[in-house]
Structure 1
Amino acid sequence: MIRTYVAEHGGTVLFSTPSRRQKKVRTRIMALVVIAAIAASTGMVQAFQDRERAHAAEDWTP
């Protein structure tokens, strides 16, 4: 969509805004990025916890 407005200098300025389709695609991409970031951080936390459990098992003796 192309919009116009009058600038401070008095001239007309044209600029385009994203279409609905572009907005929808951008929103979906951002959602996928957020999901990937959460999955990566969860994997890192899980890896650290597994490493701590492995060391705890080595130190434990009945």
Structure 2
Amino acid sequence: MHTGQEQGQFRDFDINVMCATIRGTLNAALAHIASGGPVEPYASELRAVFGAATTTAKGDL
């Protein structure tokens, strides 16, 4: 993520917070799926959420 920020691929954000957020979200989604829940809407919603959270103002993701 640090390299992505340096190269302008990601906006400026606290990397530790973002990593913890991604890990927690993935753990929750996997628990949902492992208990028999559907993959959708998790797959599309998480792509949208984390795309919005990390995309630069220019949209260069």
TM over 0.5: no
Larger Rg over CA atoms: 1
TM-score normalised by length of structure 2:
0.38
- The structure carrying a bigger strand percent of its residues is 1
TM-score after normalising by structure 1: 0.38
Structure with higher RCO (Cα < 8 A, 6+ apart): 2
